[in-house]
Amino acid sequence: ETASALRLYTEGFRTVEDIYNILQISKTRRKLPGVNIPPPKAKIMAAYYEKLTNLFWVSENYLFHAFAWYKYYSLCKEFNRGMSAEMKRMQASAVLLAALCIPSTNSEKGGRGATKPLGRDAIQSTVEDDIAKEKMARMATLLGFHTTEPSREAILAEIRSRNIMEDVPDYLR
């Protein structure tokens, strides 16, 4: 939250990595015999993903903004038994709209209309693309998204497969 307010996005992303590491250590320790450490409460994890929706929005990382909304909605729906129908509609709408805000990439469009760089520029472009993909896959892992290639199409497919559209108002479908 503080990283978002101060626009310290790199610090926010480091915090995500730190929290992931803490969760992994906790998970490993829970497997040890004689150790009774409870998993993080769903309410805490929901609050975490809710904060991430803001961090990713202000840092203009719309892909992970949508994934954070998706995780927040999923946790709230699964563990908040008293969740009102109106709240479900609002959160499902936020998930859908966040996913639709993700800009399409050339590879998702089939590469049409994109000019390919030649020579050294092509190599540089390929290296940059590989680094970007690696960073995206790493962030997806840190946030608990079960995909190695996070994309607009992946989140939209997840929305369809998890029947989130059932909670979205008709005027947004």
Q: What is the dihedral of CA 4, 22, 47, 156, to 10 degrees?
A: 80
Q: What is the dihedral of CA 146, 152, 157, 162, to 10 degrees?
A: 70
Full pLDDT tens readout for the chain, 173 residues: 665 555 566 777 788 888 888 888 888 888 888 878 888 899 999 999 999 999 899 888 899 999 999 999 999 999 988 899 999 999 999 999 999 999 987 555 444 444 555 556 666 667 777 777 888 888 888 888 877 788 999 999 999 999 999 999 999 88
Structural tokens at position 92: 């499902």
Closest CA to 63 of 55, 45, 169: 55
Helices (H), the chain: 2-5, 9-30, 42-58, 62-79, 85-100, 120-142, 152-161
Residue 87 to residues 1, 39, 93, 94, Cα–Cα distance (Å): 22, 26, 10, 10
Burial class of 47 by CB neighbour count within 10 A (0 to 12, 13 to 18, 19+): middle
Query: CA 120 to CA 137: how far, in whole Å?
Result: 26
Overall size of the chain counted in residues: 173
